Amino acid sequence: MILKQKIKLENRKQLLLVLGPLAWLAFVISVFLGRLEYPHLDFLVGFLTGFSIVGNLAYIYVITRYFKAIGGKND
């Protein structure tokens, strides 16, 4: 919580908006590495897959809240 207070609200929004494309990129890389079927990459593939799942869910949640806030201001 202390770190969250040090980052301005606008900067936090920008960081969370960047999370979506990073999660998509992590998914693409994990699919590519998974197709190589190299057993030493299993941990990395699992990590990237987990990051993409959590990142996409957080991105969807943040974007939904962001658009609701924008939509409420236009009324």
One digit per residue, pLDDT tens: the chain, 75 residues? 566 677 787 777 788 888 899 999 999 999 999 999 888 999 999 999 999 999 999 999 988 887 787 776 654
pLDDT in the model for residue 74: 55
Q: Which two tokens stand for residue 50?
A: 């987990």
* 19 in Cβ contact with 58 (< 8 Å): yes
pLDDT in the model for residue 27: 95
pLDDT in the model for residue 51: 95
pLDDT in the model for residue 43: 94
**CA trace torsion 68, 69, 74, 75 (10° rounding):** 70
pTM of the predicted structure, to 2 decimals: 0.76
Widest distance between CA atoms in the chain: 55
